[in-house]
Each structure stands twice: as C-alpha cells, then as structure tokens.
Amino acid sequence: MRRKLVAGNWKMHGSLAENEALLSGILAGMGGVKADVAVCVPFPYLAQVQAKLTGSAIRWGAQNMSQQARGAYTGEVSAAMLKDFACTYVLVGHSERRAIYGESDELVAEKFAAAQAAGMTPILCVGETLREREGCITEAVVSRQMDAVIAKCGVAALARAVVAYEPVWAIGTGVTASPDQAQAVHAYIRAKVRELDAAVADGLIIQYGGSMKANNAVELLGQPDIDGGLIGGAALNAEEFLAICRAG
C-alpha cells in the first residue's frame, strides 16, 4: 500500500511572521492526519522551518537547487546546502522553473541526480501545457520528461523519488484537472514505469498538483493512482492545507 504524500509548495510567498503563524496552525491541526505531510519553502526560511518542525511529523524541503556541487555559480544553492538544513525533499522541474527559467529536461535530470546523490528525495514535476493537451500530446510530453530522468539515473532511481503530475493549465488557475483526467495520466505514468520495473511502479508515489483545494481533494485523492498532492495556493492557509491533508 502506498502512503499518501501531501506537500505544500509555498513558491515565493511568506515572511518570518507569516511562516510562524502558518506552521503553528498546521502543527496544531495534525491530529487525525494519516498522510505524510511536507512543506517546500523558500531558501531563506529553511532554518526557521527546520527549527519549527524538527521533532514533528512534518518534513520539509526546497523548491529548486543547483545541479552543481559547488563553485563559482553566483546565486545558486547546492544539494549539500539543503542537506545542512535537513531537507528531505526538493522539487525539481516545476513547470515555473521550466517555463520562466528555461530549465530543460536534461537539466532537470541533472538536478534529480544531484539531489539523490546528496540523500534527498527529489519530487520530479512533469506536466503538459494547455496547447500540448489540445494537441493531444499530453502523454508524449510527460513521457519525454520522465525519459530524461530514466535515461540519466535509471528506472531504479524512481524508487527513491516522488513524481508530481501537474498539468500546467491547472496550476494557479483555479481550473483543476477532473479526477478522470488526472487519473488517466497518473495511470499512464505508472504503466510506463511498470514496463521497465513493476516493483518500482507499484511503489511510486505520484502526486497530483494544480488547483487542488479542500473541496476537490477527496475526489482527486480517491483515484487509484493519485497518491497525494503538491499544493500551491491552498498550502498558504493552515485550515485549507490541513483539510487536504485529512483527505489523503
């Protein structure tokens, strides 16, 4: 049985005061949550989040990292630095990184490999744009994004990773993929992995992301191949986030 994983992606939101209130609210409401829970926070707040969450059931991570180990890379943050703050997870290949910062499939695969080499669990984000969905190439796009990682790291590496299927058209738009639409892509991803390694496929946590809220989480998380959520906007409100966690 796969455990559900609900992870908040705070994006570029928060402040010391806001984070304190948000985390206090989440910690206070964790009773009755069966899912694994994590928050992926902006780099400057990792120390705050580590101090606040150490000893709790909630894990934490970052939203991006460098593929490089160290050196003259102004503005970058390495995997070892994230490990210094006891990050369990790091997002790689979020669609905002791919679209706004031009991250290629190959670069995302390098970041994935570097995260694992440092002992973290990468959350590999994949998903198609609206144009790609309308062009009926959703599966081809997701497949290409997965293949870059499998080619570099091997399918066995997915046993130490999480995949997040996030249709780009559903992120931050309030338009959620229907449970059927999401389930179909999740099943496709799992079947694709199963062709290479059945055990890895059966154990792989595949989260859904894209306007998941308290009012649609039960239905989405009830799908057989949806193993959790990657939550943006709704992760910034403790009650809303907890309601999603309880749905898992």
d(CA 146, CA 7): 20
d(CA 162, CA 61): 13
96, 110, 128, 166: which one is catalytic?
A: 166
Should residue 63 be labelled a site residue for ligand PGA when binding is judged by CB under 6 A? no
Stretch that binds ligand PGA, among 16-24, 25-33, 99-107, 165-173 (CB under 6 A): 165-173
Should residue 92 be labelled a site residue for ligand PGA when binding is judged by CB under 6 A? no
Among 44, 119, 172, 222, binds ligand PGA (CB under 6 A): 172
94, 103, 110, 186: which one is catalytic?
A: 94
**Which one, 98 or 190, has the nearer CB to ligand PGA?**
98
Should residue 66 be labelled a site residue for ligand PGA when binding is judged by CB under 6 A? no
Stretch that binds ligand PGA, among 79-87, 140-148, 196-204, 207-215 (CB under 6 A): 207-215
| 106 annotated active-site | no
Beta strands per DSSP E along the chain: 5-9, 36-40, 58-62, 89-92, 121-126, 162-165, 205-209, 228-231
d(CA 64, CA 152): 19
Q: How many CB atoms lie within 10 A of CB 51?
A: 10
Should residue 90 be labelled a site residue for ligand PGA when binding is judged by CB under 6 A? no
Closest C-alpha among 147, 166, 153 to residue 7: 166
Beta strands per DSSP E along 14-57: 36-40
| 186 annotated active-site | no
Q: Which residues are catalytic?
A: 94, 166
The residues of the shown chain that bind ligand PGA, judged by CB under 6 A, are 9, 166, 171-172, 209-212, 230-234
